[in-house]
Chain A
Amino acid sequence: MRPQVLAASRVPGLGDRLAGPAFLVCALLSASVAIVLLAVIGVETARFFSQVSPLEFFARTRWAPLAETPNFGVLPLFAATAQVAVGALCIAAPLGLLMALYIAQYAGETVARGLNAIMGGLAGVPTVILGYLALNLVTPALRSLWAGVEAFNALSACIAVAAMLLPTVVVLSRDALARVPVPLMEAGLALGAPRGRVVLRVQLPAAGAGMAAAVLMALARAVGETMIVTLAAGNQAQLGWSPLEGLRTLTAYIAQASLGDTATGTLQYGSFFAVSAVLVAVSWGLRGLAGLVVARASGWRRP
């Protein structure tokens, strides 16, 4: 046989020979960034836990890394994070879901475009600026309403974090609503049902999983948010549930404690990685859950 007949008719250029390996190297570099990140957190966290018992870390309720006898009970930080994240979501989720509904169903083309542009703009505002606004606009406003509001308080942080989450909720749930097949809606309208009922009975159930996923994704972002809580919520690492008082979240601890001068190998340095590990685990967990919700729902719809 004569395979040479079909051999490449010209010498492959440098590009042909180098491009494949070069792109592969890029892909492996990208993957290695993730792997190195995980490895660094893993190694440093393991070193931290060789000095501080995991039991103390996860069960004790006092966080005082610089005390004479340091305490590393992460619960107050974790509770503060949960409080801010859930609080922000209580504002952003209903507002965002309703707004998505308005854009998908009721707004005229111009209004919809304007609202989308506003969400795009809000998504582009750095969180440090939202932190500035929380401290200098939201907190004074709250203090003029309630005398008991402290200068650093959870409520103000919640409101600013909600502003940060709003675009995520709106965009993701708007897309979920848009994926509901038009014929499904028209079938309902053709039966003479008013629009509001069709939306409630047909569109919302069909888009429910996507909207739930949107909320979970927003929650994951809220957990990792740093600048707003660092600026507006203060640094009191105590278990407390009043939204009018200050608190200290996982992220705020890292941002306030690490200003680049913490010595390598100290317990405090190790605690940054242990807290980072908690943050990454929670963020991955919530995103995984969001993926699961969508996968289960779409599996159910397409058997």
Chain B
Amino acid sequence: MRAARDRDWLGGLSGAAAVLSGGAFLTLMGFLLIDALPALQLDFLLSPSTSRLPDGTGIGPAVVGSAWILLIAAALALPVGIGTAVYLEEYARRRRTATAVGRALDGLAAVPPVVHGVVGLAVFVRALGMGATILAGGCTLATLALPAVVSTAREALRSVSPEVRLAAYSLGATKWQVVRRELLPTAAPSLVAGSCLTLSRAIGEAAPLLVLGAVSFITFVPAAPGDPLVSLPTQVFAWTTRAHADFAALAAAASVALLAAMVGLRLAGAVLGRALQRSAR
């Protein structure tokens, strides 16, 4: 349905829109990189403190904080999310239960990230007494990522051909055997890739962590989930709000580091997924 030579005014107009959008994206990224260059140095990446002065400050604590948050969110959201997907795709005998759970997750997916922060503040920070810690941040991002984890996992499970599933059952396999020997191994590559994509989106979220009470100036690298909440996206925010031009470079450099971490996570997921696929064959 595609004919490159068959052009007309609509093709020209839509092509212009495509060029404009593509160009805008490249401009944005280029600008970010140029802004970041003066600050992108090894000291900056490794510095153990984020001080109030532009000199000698760095993103060491923020990087470690985001890594902690990622681990906690993954440890909570992946098992529950993938388990939910397996239940919905394979175990839900009563359609009413499945529909209700599906509706609840659809509703959750539509909740803006900042609202997750408000509820996280009430539940994790205050009611459960975690305080504005990395743990509270990880828990909040887990609830934020959950609906997306479930929907990518359902998608991955659905990619297993229904005929192969039925064949396994017809050979006398139990439900758990089908899930463990067929469904999960066959879906594993897309499960891994999808989960990494979802998590990479989650660690880019600043709004919920900001609402929880993320700190932007800290003089030590967090070593435990109970340490104060620091993260890359909130660090970008904090430096962006400072008027001084030196801070703009710091914000840009932290942005580049955040983007690199997100892209790295996605790539790792894709590579791991492909490796799993190859080893399965």
Do A and B touch each other in the complex, judged by CB within 8 A? yes
User: Chain A interface (Cβ within 8 Å of chain B)?
Assistant: 12-13, 15-16, 19-20, 22-31, 33-38, 40-41, 44, 94-96, 98-99, 101-109, 111-112, 114-115, 118, 121-122, 124-133, 135-137, 163, 166, 170, 182, 185-186, 194-196, 199-200, 220, 223-227, 230-231, 251, 254-255, 258-261, 264, 272-273, 276, 279-280, 283-284, 287
Q: Name the distance in Å between A252's Cβ and chain B's nearest Cβ.
A: 9
Q: Name the distance in Å between B97's Cβ and chain A's nearest Cβ.
A: 7
Verify A20–B2 contact, CB threshold 8 A: no
Verify A199–B240 contact, CB threshold 8 A: no
Question: Which residue from B31, B82, B146, B201 sits with its C-beta under 8 Å from A137?
Answer: B31
Q: A15-B180, A24-B87, A106-B4 are in contact. Are A35 and B11 (CB under 8 A)?
A: no
B117 contacts partner chain A, Cβ-Cβ < 8 Å: yes
Q: A98-B13, A226-B112 are in contact. Are A30 and B211 (CB under 8 A)?
A: no
Q: A185-B1, A224-B115, A254-B114 are in contact. Are A34 and B206 (CB under 8 A)?
A: no
**Total number of B residues with any Cβ neighbor in A under 8 Å:** 97
Verify B112–A251 contact, CB threshold 8 A: yes
Closest B residue to A126 using CB positions: B204
Interface positions of B from 73 to 106, Cβ below 8 Å from A:
79-84, 86-88, 90-92, 97, 100-101, 104-105
Verify B205–A126 contact, CB threshold 8 A: yes
Q: A95-B20, A136-B248, A287-B110 are in contact. Are A23 and B91 (CB under 8 A)?
A: yes
Verify B236–A220 contact, CB threshold 8 A: no
A33 to chain B: which residues have CB within 8 Å?
A: 104, 108, 143, 146
Verify A24–B146 contact, CB threshold 8 A: no
B241 contacts partner chain A, Cβ-Cβ < 8 Å: yes
- A-B Cβ contacts below 8 A, count: 288
Interface positions of B from 222 to 258, Cβ below 8 Å from A:
233-234, 236-237, 240-241, 248, 251-252, 255, 258
A19 to chain B: which residues have CB within 8 Å?
A: 91, 175-176, 179-180
User: Chain B interface (Cβ within 8 Å of chain A)?
Assistant: 1-4, 6-11, 13-18, 20-22, 24-26, 28-29, 31-32, 35, 79-84, 86-88, 90-92, 97, 100-101, 104-105, 107-108, 110-119, 121-123, 125-126, 132, 143, 146, 150, 174-177, 179-180, 200-201, 204-207, 210-214, 233-234, 236-237, 240-241, 248, 251-252, 255, 258-259, 262-263, 266
